[in-house]
Chain A
Amino acid sequence: MEKHHIIPVWFFVGIMLLAYGILILGSGLAEWSNPPHTVLAELHAPVWWGGLLTVIGAAYVLAFRPKT
Chain B
Amino acid sequence: MTTERMISLAPVDLAIIVIYFLMVLGIGFYLRRFAKSGEDFFMAGREMTAWVAGLSFLSANLGSLELLGWAGSAYQYGILAAHWYWIGAIPAMLFLGIVMMPFYYISKTHSVPGYLQLRYGPAASGLSAISFALMTILMSGVNMYAMALTMKVVLGWNIHFSIWVSSLTVGIYVASGGLFSAIFNEVLQFFLIWFGALLIPILGLIETHGWEGMVARIKSNFPGQDFTHAWSTLGSAQDNPMGIHWTGIVFGLGAIISMGYWTTDFLVVQRVLAAKDLRSAKLAPIIGAFFKMAVPLIVILPGLIGLAVLPDHLVPQGFAQAGQHTYDAVLPLMMARYMGPGLLGLGITALVAGFMAGMAGNVSAFATVWTYDLYRPFMRQLVSKKPATDAHYVSMGRWCTMIGLIISIGAAYLAMGFTSIMDYVQALFSFFIAPLFGTVILGMLWKRTTAAGGFAGLLAGTVASVGMFLIVKFNPEALSIIAMSTHAKAMAEDMYRALWSWIICVLVTVVVSLITKPKPESELAGLVYGATAIPSEGNVGLLQKPIFWAGVALALFIILQWIFW
Q: Is the interface of A mostly helix, strand, loop or mixed?
A: helix
CA of A31 to CA of B343, assembled, Å: 13
Could you say which residues of chain B place their CB within 8 Å of the CB of A1? 45, 47-49
The docked-state distance in angstroms from the alpha carbon of A46 to that of B203 is 12
Which residues of chain B have C-beta atoms less than 8 A from A39's C-beta? 203, 207, 309, 337-338
How far is the CB of B346 from the nearest CB of chain A, in Å? 6
> B297 an interface residue at 8 Å Cβ cutoff?
no
Contact call A49/B343, Cβ cutoff below 8 A: yes
**Residues on B with beta carbons closer than 8 Å to the beta carbon of A6:** 31, 34, 180
B interface residues, tally (CB under 8 Å): 40
Q: B10: which A residues are within 8 A, CB to CB? A: 27
The docked-state distance in angstroms from the alpha carbon of A46 to that of B124 is 54
Q: Report the minimal beta-carbon distance from A9 to chain B, rounded to whole angstroms.
A: 5
Determine if B207 and A40 form an interchain contact, defined as CB atoms under 8 angstroms apart.
yes
CA distance A35 to B180 in the complex (A): 41
Q: Which residues of B contact A15 (CB under 8 A)?
A: 23
A23→B12 contact, CB < 8 A: yes
The interface size of chain A toward B, counting residues with CB under 8 Å, comes to 32
Establish whether residues A23 and B188, one from each chain, have CB atoms under 8 Å apart when the complex forms.
no
User: Are B206 and A13 closer than 8 Å at their CB atoms?
Assistant: no
Judged by a CB distance under 8 angstroms, whether B366 is at the interface is no
- Taking a contact as CB atoms under 8 Å apart, the answer to whether B47 and A28 are in contact is no
**Is B156 interfacial (CB-CB < 8 Å)?**
no
Q: How far is the CA of A2 from the CA of B203 in the complex (A)?
A: 42
Contact call B341/A31, Cβ cutoff below 8 A: yes
Assess whether A38 is in contact with B45, with CB atoms less than 8 Å apart.
no
A42 to chain B, nearest CB (A): 11
Apart from A9-B187, A28-B342, A46-B343: 15 A-B pairs, beta carbons within 8 A: A1-B47, A13-B187, A13-B191, A16-B20, A16-B191, A20-B16, A24-B12, A27-B10, A38-B340, A39-B337, A45-B339, A46-B340, A46-B341, A49-B195, A50-B342
Closest 9 CB pairs of A and B: A36-B340, A27-B342, A24-B342, A27-B12, A4-B34, A9-B187, A46-B342, A3-B47, A9-B184
- A-to-B contact residues, CB < 8 Å: 1-4, 6-7, 9, 12-13, 15-17, 19-20, 23-24, 26-28, 31, 35-36, 38-41, 43, 45-46, 49-50, 53
